């Protein structure tokens, strides 16, 4: 009886084990895949910049003009009228600090790496010194100087620059978070000085063009510089050439005497000894660094 009971128990145990082996096994759940977002330059941005601007035409030769007595420019202690020479240095001294802000929009055709197009507008303060001297020096054949009330001004119309700005297109190629680009478009600016070939002193508004290029890098979203919780913070270094047309004016005018008559290089008896007067456009280059906050896609 005891043997029969043991045999029955063994048979039941074997049957249960066989049934358990036939049950399906519970597999571990597959790992959850979290795709890493691909960076894109698409989106609006705004930021600030600062740098240095310098004149690209620093080798202008001086203008020296011989002025006859009949022009009524020089005074004399003697009864006879006095002739003389007036010289102009022709140095703009357009160099100094520049700084301002910019806004823009980029569109990247393929996220990750690919071509990027965009548009950017900026406004800049320019600490460019201006040539305030009417002339470098004057000498006469007599003992007198320039007649009081006579206005003498550089016939090339030199001036400084108080501010400038641009509206430019951008085209570049992105290597993930690094963007290399070229840029070009419309430029404008204004500064004090005498207009080309006239005695008019004004903050004349000038327009022209600008072209250049740069490189920009996007920091991670959690960068300590991301104060505004934007989708990215970017740093850039950029070089820009700016050419502003100063207009034509009355070519060769360099003085207005006490009677109100304008004296030009075409006035009878006037001789241009060296350095023919020419219009000096405002030309300068800018090297600057910038910080942008991008809003939009990752």
How many domains does the chain divide into? Answer: 1
Q: Looking at residue 197, what is its pLDDT?
A: 44
CATH number at residue 193: 2.40.160.20
Beta-carbon contacts of 169 under 8 Å, excluding residues fewer than 6 positions away, are 117, 118, 119, 183, 184, 185
What is the 8-class DSSP label of residue 272? E
Q: Comparing C-alpha atoms, which of 127, 104, 136 is closest to residue 117?
A: 104
**Is 29 within the bounds of a domain?**
no
Q: Looking at residue 103, what is its pLDDT?
A: 97
Identify which has the larger pLDDT, 23 or 279. 279
- Assign 295 to helix, strand or coil: strand
pLDDT in tens, 157-194: 656 678 999 999 999 999 999 999 999 999 999 876 55
User: Which pairs with CB-CB distance under 8 Å and at least 24 residues apart come from 145-148?
Assistant: 145/74, 145/75, 146/73, 146/74, 146/75, 147/72, 147/73, 147/74, 147/75, 147/257, 147/258, 148/75, 148/258
Give pTM, 2 decimals.
Answer: 0.71
**Is 282 within the bounds of a domain?**
yes
**Is 81 within the bounds of a domain?**
yes
**Is 8 within the bounds of a domain?**
no
- Residue 102: is its pLDDT beyond 80? yes
Q: Comparing C-alpha atoms, which of 216, 212, 213 is closest to residue 178?
A: 216
Determine the Cα–Cα distance for residues 143 and 103; give it in Å rounded to an integer: 60
Beta-carbon contacts of 258 under 8 Å, excluding residues fewer than 6 positions away, are 72, 147, 148, 149, 150
What is the 8-class DSSP label of residue 71? G
- β-sheet bridge partners, residue 9: none
**Is 21 within the bounds of a domain?**
no
- Residue 59: is its pLDDT beyond 60? no
What mean pLDDT is predicted for residues 102-108? 97
The mean-pLDDT minimum among 158-172, 189-203, 252-266 falls in 189-203
Q: Comparing C-alpha atoms, which of 191, 190, 196 is closest to residue 153?
A: 196
What mean pLDDT is predicted for residues 215-228? 80
- Residue 135: is its pLDDT beyond 90? no
Phi and psi based region of residue 55 (left: phi greater than 0; alpha: psi -120 to 50; beta: remaining):
beta
**Is 11 within the bounds of a domain?**
no
Domain range for 104 is: 40-295
Determine the Cα–Cα distance for residues 174 and 40; give it in Å rounded to an integer: 9
Determine the Cα–Cα distance for residues 147 and 176; give it in Å rounded to an integer: 69
**Is 26 within the bounds of a domain?**
no
* 3-state helix/strand/coil string of 187-256: EEEEEEEECCCCCCEEEEEEEEEEEEEEEEEEECCCCCCCCCCCCEEEEEEEEEEEEEECCCCCCCEEEE
* Reported confidence tier of residue 195, pLDDT bands at 50, 70, 90: very low
Percent of the chain topping pLDDT 70: 68
Determine the Cα–Cα distance for residues 94 and 87; give it in Å rounded to an integer: 20
Determine the Cα–Cα distance for residues 149 and 257; give it in Å rounded to an integer: 7
The neighbour count for residue 143, using CB atoms within 10 Å, is: 10
H helix and E strand count, the chain:
1, 15
**Is 291 within the bounds of a domain?**
yes
Determine the Cα–Cα distance for residues 192 and 197; give it in Å rounded to an integer: 15
How far CA 197 is from CA of 142, 158, 260, 279, in Å, comes to 28, 10, 15, 8
- Assign 45 to helix, strand or coil: strand
- Residue 248: is its pLDDT beyond 80? no
Q: Looking at residue 211, what is its pLDDT?
A: 98
Chain-wide mean pLDDT for the chain? Answer: 79
pLDDT in tens, 7-39: 555 555 555 555 545 555 666 677 765 666 788
- Residue 291: is its pLDDT beyond 90? yes
Q: Comparing C-alpha atoms, which of 100, 284, 104 is closest to residue 179?
A: 104
Q: Looking at residue 106, what is its pLDDT?
A: 96
């Amino acid at each position: 009886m005891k043997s029969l009971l043991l045999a029955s128990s063994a048979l039941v145990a074997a049957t249960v084990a066989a049934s358990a082996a036939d049950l399906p096994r519970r597999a571990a759940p597959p790992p959850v895949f979290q795709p890493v977002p691909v960076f894109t330059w698409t989106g609006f941005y705004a930021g600030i910049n600062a740098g240095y601007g310098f004149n690209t035409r620093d080798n202008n030769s001086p203008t020296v003009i011989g002025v006859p007595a009949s022009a009524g420019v020089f005074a004399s202690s003697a009864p006879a009228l006095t002739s003389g020479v007036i010289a102009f240095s022709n140095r703009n001294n357009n160099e100094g600090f520049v700084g301002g802000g910019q806004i823009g929009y980029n569109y990247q055709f393929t996220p990750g790496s690919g071509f990027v197009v965009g548009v950017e507008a900026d406004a800049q303060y320019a600490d460019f010194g201006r040539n305030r001297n009417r002339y470098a020096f004057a000498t006469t054949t007599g003992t007198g100087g320039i007649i009081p009330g006579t206005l003498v001004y550089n016939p090339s119309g030199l001036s400084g620059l108080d501010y400038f700005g641009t509206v430019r297109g951008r085209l570049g190629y992105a290597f993930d978070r690094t963007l290399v680009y070229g840029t070009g478009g419309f430029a404008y600016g204004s500064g004090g000085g005498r207009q080309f070939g006239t005695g008019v002193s004004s903050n004349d508004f000038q327009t022209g063009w600008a072209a250049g290029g740069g490189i920009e890098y996007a920091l991670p979203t959690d960068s300590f510089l991301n104060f505004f919780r934007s989708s990215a913070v970017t740093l850039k270094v950029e070089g820009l050439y700016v050419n502003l047309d100063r207009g034509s004016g009355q070519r060769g005018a360099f003085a207005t005497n006490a009677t109100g008559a304008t004296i030009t290089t075409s006035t009878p008896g006037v001789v241009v000894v060296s350095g023919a007067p020419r219009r000096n456009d405002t030309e300068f280059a800018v090297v600057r660094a910038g910080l942008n906050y991008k809003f939009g896609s990752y």
